[in-house]
Amino acid sequence: MLFIAGPTASGKSALAIRAARAFDGEIVNADSMQIYADLRLLSARPSPQEEAQAPHHLFGLVDGADGWSVGRWLRAVTPVLADIQARGRRPVLVGGTGLYFRALTEGLADIPDLAPEIRTAAEAVFDRDGETAVRAILAGADPAGEVRIAPGDRQRLVRALEVLEGTGRSMSDWRDSTRPTLAPDAWRGVVIEPPRAELYRRCDARLDAMVETGALDEVRALVARGLDPLTPVMKAVGVPQLAAHLAGDATLEAALDDARRETRRYAKRQMTWLRNQTPDWPRIVETDQEAQWRQFLALNPSLTPSV
């Protein structure tokens, strides 16, 4: 299997399509937002023209009201991968959700469901005492695990504290007892890691293009559904900002400025996570599509193109 990871706007989809066409592959989504049917534009899901170039799986599959976890994705993707390989084809997983890749390569800890009040208490500790205090608690029980969490990653810090308080075991303890879903020799991965300034420029340009091609209508339709604002689809980058404009709380330009900033922050978080969690994956540092393809081939000399 081929894994292509990277931040938003880095060129993952184009590279995945080219790899799928060259190596008898089928593309499988590993992006937590592209799984939702409601977010074709703002999640940068492959266009119908792109999807026609190679088989695509697990894109636009889920209704926005149905929030998916990494566990549900793992249960959905496992039979898809088996089916692709049973037909003599090669899965090409592409996305920016690092936890999806880690669930396959390292396994998913079977942490029991915890009472909601434990999560609420962990969030209260973070909001009251701050990141430094939460890190001190985690470091006392799991110093290696605390270091793996990127600065400012509130979600993972709260989750680690929730698990520690709710189970009496650290995240590292749970992970150490977990087996990978895939054998180490069943896959090879690359990370697209372009220069940050160019990546940010591409993020800005793509957001502008999204708005020009209907992103406001996409958000308007979501808002009209009256979904819980805490559902993943309503928290997707660009949705809260454009929803604020549609509600009359911000001008379009102010909303776009906020969305641009949040997109850049999101890309930075993705790059930080991948740098910390996949340090041994080869890097593609080019931004031009042809240069990315040449570097991909150079990093995978044992692959023989079928076309």
Q: Could you report the per-residue pLDDT of 93-108, keeping only the tens digit for each?
A: 999 999 999 999 988 8
Q: What are phi and psi of 45, to 5 degrees?
A: -65, 150
| Distance between CA atoms of residues 85 and 278, nearest Å | 25
- The answer to whether residue 67 scores a pLDDT higher than 80 is yes
- The answer to whether residue 153 scores a pLDDT higher than 90 is no
Which range, 149-153, 192-196, 228-232, has the best average confidence (pLDDT)? 192-196
**Which one has a higher pLDDT value, 180 or 193?**
193
DSSP 238: T
DSSP 62: B
- The answer to whether residue 248 scores a pLDDT higher than 70 is yes
CA 183 to chain centre: 22
Contacts of 290 by beta carbon, 8 Å cutoff, 6+ apart: none
Tokens of 232: 């993943």
- Residues 179-207 have a mean pLDDT of 95
Predicted confidence band at 175 (pLDDT cuts at 50, 70, 90)?
confident
β-strand partners of 25 = 90
Say what percent of the chain tops pLDDT 90.
Answer: 83
At residue 177, the pLDDT reads: 75
- The answer to whether residue 205 scores a pLDDT higher than 60 is yes
pTM for the full predicted model: 0.84
In tens, the pLDDT along 21-45 reads 999 999 999 999 999 999 999 999 9
- The answer to whether residue 254 scores a pLDDT higher than 70 is yes
Predicted confidence band at 307 (pLDDT cuts at 50, 70, 90)?
low
List the one residue out of 156, 153, 43 whose CA is nearest residue 94. 43
Domains observed in the chain = 2-108+179-299 (3.40.50.300), 116-176 (1.10.20.140)
- The answer to whether residue 13 scores a pLDDT higher than 60 is yes
In tens, the pLDDT along 70-89 reads 889 999 999 999 999 999 99
- The answer to whether residue 234 scores a pLDDT higher than 80 is yes
DSSP assignment string, 255-293? HHHHHHHHHHHHHHHHHHHHHHH-TTS-EE---SHHHHH
- The answer to whether residue 306 scores a pLDDT higher than 80 is no
- The answer to whether residue 165 scores a pLDDT higher than 60 is yes
Tokens of 173: 């303890």
Element (H, E) at 163: helix 154-167
- Residues 250-257 have a mean pLDDT of 97
